[in-house]
Amino acid sequence: MRRRKHKKINNEEALEDAGVVVDQELNENNPEQVEKVLNALCKGSIFYSHKDSRFGKDHLLKLQLHESKMWLEISHPKPEKGFAKTFAKTTSAVAQEPSKQYLFIVDVHDLVKGQAAFKRAKDIRRYQAFSLSILYTQDLAGERDTMQLDLYLAETSSSADAIVQAWTKGLDYLKERSLELFYINPMKILLEKGWLEASSHLRKIQAHALESWLRNRNLNVTKKQVKRYLQDYDADFSGSLDSIQFHKLVLDLSRSKRINDIFEE
């Protein structure tokens, strides 16, 4: 991938000038602070916190542009050198095209490893819930939706099924508003007996995402067709594709002139 050169950004003031909301000490129990972050996201800005109590140490929110589409990505654990410059450039581009349709999609990377997973379970559930809240609150008309998130699992439930259901609701919410789904990344799911790559559940999420994307292009596809296509796409397909594979799959389809033929019975 060709690297783009960015104008050097040295300080937080420059980030704020570019439309980035900077807050090093977000207090998750402070409704006013959280409201400020969500409002900024809904206006097309981005929230950036280097060491944030809500997300855990060194989590970042970054907004990317690709093929004239935009999505929200949550990265872990450390930013690449020059990350702030990309933030500034991207948010400036968003500000220049306020009427452009875009969609925030959450990409959850590995959050914890080993035995620390059990100690961090509560924080991870909050992290996932806040991620999904972005899907629910993002509205191109400027309206806010305050739906209760099923993924806010309290401290008792952590089933993979509940997480899939929450994602499904988020995707349906977007579809109802005719927002285009670009891609969605697999995430590590906390099962009752530990952290596992829950392939069957990730496959459900990806299949639902791809089905929604195709239906938004007026293709009357079936779940069976989508599942078969995902399985045929990669000979080594073992339950779910990683984010790069799934992203490439969607791009390949978007460029195909035979997309209708591909999904014929």
DSSP 143-203: ----PPPTT--TTT---HHHHHHHHHHHHHHHHHTTPPP-------EEETTEEE--HHHHH
Of the pLDDT bands very low, low, confident and very high (cuts 50, 70, 90), residue 178 is very low
Query: Residue 136: pLDDT above 60?
Result: no
- Give tens-digit pLDDT for 79-122: 333 333 433 344 444 444 443 333 333 333 332 233 333 334 44
Interval 3-8 mean pLDDT: 34
pLDDT of amino acid 261: 77
Q: Which domains occur in the chain, in start order?
A: 11-184 (2.30.29.30), 188-262 (1.10.238.10)
Q: pTM score > 0.75 for this model?
A: no
- Give tens-digit pLDDT for 249-262: 766 776 677 777 77
Q: Which residue has the higher pLDDT, 162 or 137?
A: 162
Q: How far apart are CA 100 and CA 109, in angstroms?
A: 28
Q: How far apart are CA 251 and CA 248, in angstroms?
A: 5
- Give tens-digit pLDDT for 9-59: 333 443 344 333 333 334 444 445 444 444 444 343 333 333 333 333 333
